[in-house]
Chains A and B, each alone.
Chain A
Amino acid sequence: MRSSTAPAGLDQLVADCQVQLPDLSLLVGTEEVKPYECDGLSCYRALPGAVLLPEDEAEAVAALRLCSAAGVPVVARGAGTGLSGGAMPLPEGVVLSMARLNRVLDIDPPSRTALVQPGVRNLAISEAVADAGLYYAPDPSSQIACTIGGNVAENSGGVHCLKYGLTVHNVLKVRTILIDGTVVDVGADAPDAAGYDLLALMIGSEGLLGVASEITVKLTPKPLAAQCAMAAFDDLGKAGAAVGGIIAAGIIPAGLEMMDKAATRAVEDFVHAGYNLDAEAILLVESDGTPEEVAEEMARIKAVLDTAGAVEVRISSNEAERLRFWAGRKAAFPAVGRISPDYYCIDGTIPRRALPRVLHSIEAMTVEFGLRCANVFHAGDGNLHPLILFDANIPGELERTEAFAARILELCIEVGGTITGEHGVGVEKINQMCMQFGTAELTRFLGIKAAFDPAGLLNPGKAIPTLHRCAEFGRMHVHSGQEKFPELPRF
Chain B
Amino acid sequence: MSAEALIPQWQERVRNAQITGRPLRIRGGGTKDFYGERLEGEVFDVSAHAGIVDYDPTELVITARGGTRLAEIEATMQEAGQMLAFEPPLFGEAATLGGCVASGLSGPRRPYAGAVRDFVLGVRVLDGKGDDLHFGGRVMKNVAGFDVSRLMTGALGTLGVLLEVSLKCLPRPKAETTLVFEMSAPEAVRRINEWAGLPLPLSASSWHEERLHVRLSGAEAAVVAAKNKLGGQEIAGPEGETWWRDLREQRMAFFATASQLWRLSVKPTAPYADLGTFQMMEWGGALRWLNAASALDSETVREWAHDHGGHATLFRAASRHAGVFQPLQPALLDIHRRLKSTFDPAGILNRGRMYPEF
Contact = CB atoms under 8 A, between A and B. Distances in A.
A416 B137 contact: yes
B147 A441 contact: no
A353 interface: yes
A180 to B, nearest CB: 9
Which 8 pairs between the two chains have the least Cβ-Cβ distance? A189-B309, A190-B310, A447-B342, A200-B150, A292-B221, A250-B171, A451-B338, A381-B140
Interface stretch (A21-29, A344-352, A389-397): A344-352
A147 interface: no
Given A194-B311, A197-B150, A201-B146, A422 B141 contact: yes
Given A157-B141, A221-B198, A433-B144, A247 B58 contact: yes
B88 interface: no
29 contacts: A111-B269, A112-B196, A154-B143, A155-B147, A165-B114, A186-B332, A188-B309, A189-B266, A190-B308, A194-B328, A196-B339, A250-B174, A292-B219, A293-B222, A378-B141, A380-B140, A382-B139, A383-B140, A418-B142, A419-B144, A423-B143, A425-B143, A429-B144, A441-B135, A445-B146, A448-B339, A451-B338, A463-B145, A480-B134
B253 interface: no
B222 A195 contact: no
Interface string B112-142: 0011011000000001000111110111111
A421 B170 contact: no
Interface of A: 108-112, 132-134, 154-155, 157, 161-162, 165-166, 168-169, 178, 182, 184-186, 188-198, 200-201, 203-205, 209, 221-224, 244-245, 247-248, 250-252, 289-290, 292-293, 295-297, 349-353, 378, 380-383, 416-425, 429, 433, 436-438, 440-441, 444-445, 447-452, 454, 463-464, 480-481
A416 B138 contact: yes
Contacts of B148: 444-445, 448
Interface in B170-210: 170-172, 174, 193-194, 196-201
B347 interface: no
Contacts of B308: 189-190
A449 B267 CA distance: 30
A193 B313 CA distance: 10
Contacts, number: 272
B144 A250 contact: no
Contacts of A168: 118, 147, 150
Interface string B343-354: 100000000001
Given A293-B218, A418-B139, A244 B146 contact: no
B154 A248 contact: no
A190 B222 CA distance: 28
B129 to A, nearest CB: 8
Nearest to A425: B144
A450 B219 contact: no
Residue with the greatest number of chain B CB neighbours at <10 A, chosen from A251, A293, A445: A293
A132 B310 contact: no
Contacts of B309: 188-190
Contact of B143 (A108, A155, A182): A155
B197 A132 contact: yes
Contacts of B151: 196-198, 200-201, 448
